[in-house]
A and B are shown apart, each in its own frame.
Chain A
């Protein structure tokens, strides 16, 4: 007994620690080393590869979808404004620009709606900003629009502020020039130009552009350079408005008289 007491006095702490260790080890064994694995996980965390390849691919895919959604939202918004604009204008056709002039002298665009969609020769094309041009030919699914900047395109216009009348003519170099009927027109740079009621090829009141500079001493008629309000070089969509020309300007005079007589 005394011997046992002496052993206990000497080895109590050791025995306690050993027991504790064994119990803990047993507990650890029962829990299948979870604690150790947890520590292992924490310690090796910096060495582990970040995201798995699958996760990375998934993230990239999500990113792509997000970007697509943004693009679709943008497209949706621009189409919606087009539709609202089209609705506000009555029966019109919205068409995408699919081509430009096939040589370097004409100022034309090709759009993706033709006479199957109700586009006819003589219709007016407008874009964001105002007048773009006139449909000069229509195939079943495309049509060709003569831009206002083409030399063969002419239209009657007026200065919106002072009602000074004139003719806007395109130019070979892509600029647009207005020739006034009066010798001393009331105009100043920045005045808004709209189509006039004397225009046979366009309905009146369509915005064309602004006066950029003037040469009032020019003979035979004073001239002004017009800055078009529609960006013709970067057009993507145009709106085509049905319009019946007042007289067929391409017909010789006899035919005009004939058609007037036949429809009294």
Chain B
């Protein structure tokens, strides 16, 4: 009895340790993939949003608070990789919360196609939040770096659509391993 209990706690410990390793490792992988442009990955000079895919998959398996925290953390890291404004923390946090909420209403049910659709929608949401930040800065601050609203929203169209298509196509590559791990 005691022996089996001891064995179980040990495996729990190992499991937790492995889980931390998987979470950090996959997050780091997505961060490292972000600046990479290997051949065939770009569509209209736009690359898939790896961190967004990660946040969506995480949010499907975790409660809404965890989703918001993960989104914020990864968004801040992406800010570090690019620049401080417009911030990705806000967009990824909202993406995480929306996805976790959809999951609570049991709309997604272990279907990779549905997850890909969620990623598609969330990529559009994320691009829209970035473009909204740019718009607010352009409207509210006198010396904004952006030339016109028209250009921001035309770029938004291109970025949102291309990154949504690419991200949803790459979703299974991240979804299968992570889903298997978090499911078991």
Contact = CB atoms under 8 A, between A and B. Distances in A.
Interface stretch (B8-16, B30-38, B61-69, B112-120): B30-38
A99 interface: yes
B151 A106 contact: no
A145 to B, nearest CB: 12
Contact of B81 (A102, A104, A169, A173): A102
Contacts of B36: 99-100
Given A102-B81, A104-B46, A173-B154, A151 B130 contact: no
| The 8 residue pairs across chains A and B that have the minimum distance between CB atoms | A99-B35, A102-B81, A102-B34, A172-B155, A151-B145, A106-B82, A104-B159, A102-B35
B47 interface: yes
A177 interface: yes
Interface string A147-169: 00001101000000000000001
A178 to B, nearest CB: 11
Contacts of A174: 45
Contacts of B46: 104
A233 interface: yes
A143 interface: no
Contacts of B78: 102-103
Contacts of B31: 102
Contacts, number: 63
A85 interface: no
A233 B130 contact: no
A262 B45 CA distance: 47
Given A100-B35, A101-B35, A233-B45, A177 B88 contact: no
B159 A171 contact: no
A1 to B, nearest CB: 103
B152 interface: yes
Contact of B47 (A100, A152, A169): A100
Given A154-B145, A172-B134, A172-B146, 9 more contacts: A102-B34, A102-B78, A103-B49, A103-B82, A104-B163, A106-B82, A106-B83, A151-B147, A172-B152
A108 B49 CA distance: 16
A103 B34 contact: yes
A102 B145 contact: no
A215 to B, nearest CB: 12
Nearest to A174: B45
A171 B147 CA distance: 7
A215 B46 CA distance: 29
